Amino acid sequence: MNNAGRRKRAPQVNDIVTAMRREQQVRQAGYREQAMKLFPSVCGRCAREFEGKKLRELTVHHIDHNHDNNPPDGSNWELLCVYCHDHEHSRAVQQDRDTDNPSTAPVRPSLSHSPFAALAGLAGDSD
């Protein structure tokens, strides 16, 4: 395809993306405003409090991950700071990957695993 054909399609794609982002912002503004009235300005995970200009760091997380499910009582929302919100979505992506094919999921040691636990016994044997 020549460059002229690409130039004609690019504005159309850009227009669609721009329109989708605008619609998303309008939708988010509605439920974010509602959530900010319903809930205290505190992250639901790390319990950090927000006020003033920092309020923009507080986001609305959809518990069921469906951004169109916005009940007026806020039962599908929780306020999370941008860091906890990012972590929540990263965790969900990893869970999806692990459940897609559990037999190939890497086996990870638990947080209680200590790679140096056996060293105490080895050090005592050298006496």
Q: pLDDT averaged over consecutive 10-residue blocks of the chain (127 residues)?
A: 53 85 75 90 94 93 89 92 91 70 55 61 59
Pair 60, 77: CB distance under 8 Å: yes
pLDDT at 108: 54
Strand partners for 81: 58
Residue ranges of the domains in the chain?
3-102
- Structure-block tokens of residue 107: 């086996």
- Return the CATH number of the domain spanning residue range 3-102: 3.40.1800
Per-residue model confidence (pLDDT) at position 119: 67
The span from the CA of 29 to the CA of 35, in Å, is 10
Q: Provide the pLDDT for residue 75.
A: 94
Cβ neighbour number for residue 59 with a 10 Å cutoff: 20
